Amino acid sequence: MRIFAAVMAGGSGERFWPLSRRNHPKQFLSILGGRSIINQTVSRLEQLVRREDIFIVTVREYRDLVAKHLPWINKDQLLIEPCGRDTSAGVALAAAEIHRRDPRGVMIMLPSDHYIADRDLYVRTLAAAASAASGGRHVATIGITPTRPDTGFGYILKGEVHSVIDSHTVHRALRFTEKPCLEKAVAFVDSGNYFWNSGIFVWRVDLIRQLISTFLPGLAEGFRKFEEAPEKEKERVLGEVYQALPKISVDYGILEKVEYILVIRGDFGWDDVGSWPALHRVSPSLCGEGNVIQARGVFLNTRDSIIVSPRRVVAAMGISGLVVVDDGQNLLICGKNEAQDMKRLLQALQEEGFEESL
């Protein structure tokens, strides 16, 4: 079994503004301590996947950033999307390259920006998922035991036990529900029968290509033209093809329609670090009074707040429940409960003419 990995690294990470900007998004930040998030992601994979079998799917604007953060990576391991078309197109692009190298290879598809506490257990869980997918009949995914009724995550209803692989219990996945309302999320968590959808999927590359052909025929046809093009014409053809591809996630486009999905519980300390308040759950910089402080300065009578300032000294006094982030040019001040809705704030900045800050 040859295992490949496709790391999706084309997102803009707008909910981590102002540190995450269009020209330097979240996956290239070091907000989780030490190395950048994408560097940490790839480093974990190297315990299971050979370096030469790791691919980074990104957009042209981030090509140089990927090369800077992963200086060892070869040019042919950078899979450049001409434009963003959500994860189904990125999966198809990676699958085309992996299929060329090994038509029966096992492919791990994962985001570039997750937090993982226990990397050894994480790698063992991925290995079990790869084993479950290696027969070419099932898609395997990692489900996370929910700790709260979060409406920002997708949920997976687990069914009967399918098998046990190296002490990892493998269940059949019965249903995917994307970002439910709070009432449903509470019911899901209370039932004990649901996992959070981690966004990590494992399949044999010939199977995912078959599923793309079945459920997204327009996507399959576009990539057929790309793969059949002469080598010197491939980049041009890919650019033409991408413009017409459906903009749809692999979850909506394929996985919600497939019956033969297996789910393995991941108890390795996972978080998708989707917005600034997530630092309270994962940050090594958790300070007294419930604060996360990644800054120099003084913080008097300051509670339950997130303060990030890589460049300037901060003096805070008498604040509670705030997110304060200063990148040296732009300053964010918002309530923790408002930080999930960063898109509305960035839209307002754009409408007011502050495009250079985005």
Whether the CB-CB separation of 219 and 188 falls below 8 Å is answered with no
CA–CA distance, 10 with 295 (Å, rounded to integer): 28
- Residue at which a domain ends, from 247, 271, 295: 271
CATH of the domain at 18: 3.90.550.10
What confidence score (pLDDT) does residue 284 get?
62
Same domain, 123 and 179: yes
What confidence score (pLDDT) does residue 243 get?
87
Same domain, 28 and 141: yes
> If the chain, 358 residues long, is cut into consecutive pieces of 10 residues, what is the mean pLDDT of each piece?
95 90 92 89 96 96 95 95 91 96 97 94 98 96 94 93 95 92 95 96 98 96 93 92 90 90 96 89 76 94 94 95 95 92 92 94
CA–CA distance, 211 with 202 (Å, rounded to integer): 13
Residue with tokens 């791990």: 108
Same domain, 289 and 254: no
In the chain, at which residue ranges do the beta strands (DSSP E only) sit?
3-8, 54-59, 78-81, 106-111, 115-116, 139-144, 155-165, 168-177, 194-204, 261-265, 270-271, 292-300, 306-317, 322-326, 331-335
Whether the CB-CB separation of 176 and 251 falls below 8 Å is answered with yes
Same domain, 43 and 107: yes
Spell out the residues 6+ positions from residue 67 whose beta carbon is closer than 8 angstroms to its own.
Answer: 73, 78
Q: Taking the alpha carbons of 271, 274, 280, 284 in that order, is the dihedral positive or negative?
A: positive
Whether the CB-CB separation of 125 and 168 falls below 8 Å is answered with yes
Same domain, 139 and 69: yes
Same domain, 238 and 169: yes
Same domain, 290 and 266: no
Number of domains into which the chain is organized: 2
Host domain of residue 55: 3-271
Same domain, 265 and 332: no
Same domain, 257 and 290: no
Helix (H, G, I), strand (E, B), or coil: what is residue 329? coil
- Residue at which a domain ends, from 271, 303, 338: 271
Whether the CB-CB separation of 166 and 127 falls below 8 Å is answered with yes
Range 16-19 contact pairs with CB under 8 angstroms and sequence separation of 24 or more? 16/275, 16/276, 16/342, 17/325, 17/330, 17/332, 17/342, 17/345, 17/346, 17/358, 18/325, 18/326, 18/327, 18/329, 18/330, 18/331, 18/332, 18/357, 19/308, 19/310, 19/325, 19/327
Same domain, 220 and 293: no
CA–CA distance, 266 with 126 (Å, rounded to integer): 9
- Residue at which a domain ends, from 238, 256, 271: 271
Same domain, 36 and 136: yes
Same domain, 158 and 117: yes
